[in-house]
Amino acid sequence: MSLNEKSIKGVIFDMDGVLIDSEQLMSRSAILALKEFGVEAQPWDFIPYMGQGENSFIGNVARKYNVEYQYAMKYRAYEIYDMLVCTEAKLFPHIKETLTTLKSRGYKISLASGADIMKVTSNIKAIEMEETDFNAFVTGNDVTRNKPEPDIFLLAAERMKINPAYCLVCEDTISGIKAAKAAGMQCLGITSSLQSEVLTNSGADITSESIHILLDILKPLKITNLKKKKL
**Would you kindly state where each structural domain of the chain is located, as residue ranges?**
5-21+91-217, 23-88
**Global pTM?**
0.87
pLDDT tens by residue, 178-200: 999 999 999 999 999 899 999 99
∠ CA 124-125-126 to the nearest 5 degrees?
90
Q: pLDDT band for position 86 (50/70/90)? A: confident
Mean pLDDT for 58-80 is 96
**Is the per-residue pLDDT at 231 higher than 50?**
no
Which distant-in-sequence residues (6+ apart) come within 8 Å of 211 by Cβ? 13, 18, 19, 92, 95, 98, 170, 188, 190
**Is the per-residue pLDDT at 124 higher than 50?**
yes
pLDDT tens by residue, 97-119: 999 999 999 999 999 999 999 99
pLDDT at 230: 39
Q: pLDDT band for position 149 (50/70/90)? A: very high
CATH architecture of 5-21+91-217: 3-Layer(aba) Sandwich (3.40)
Query: What is the rounded average pLDDT for all residues in the chain?
Result: 93
Catalytic residues: 14, 16
**Is the per-residue pLDDT at 13 higher than 70?**
yes
pLDDT at 1: 62
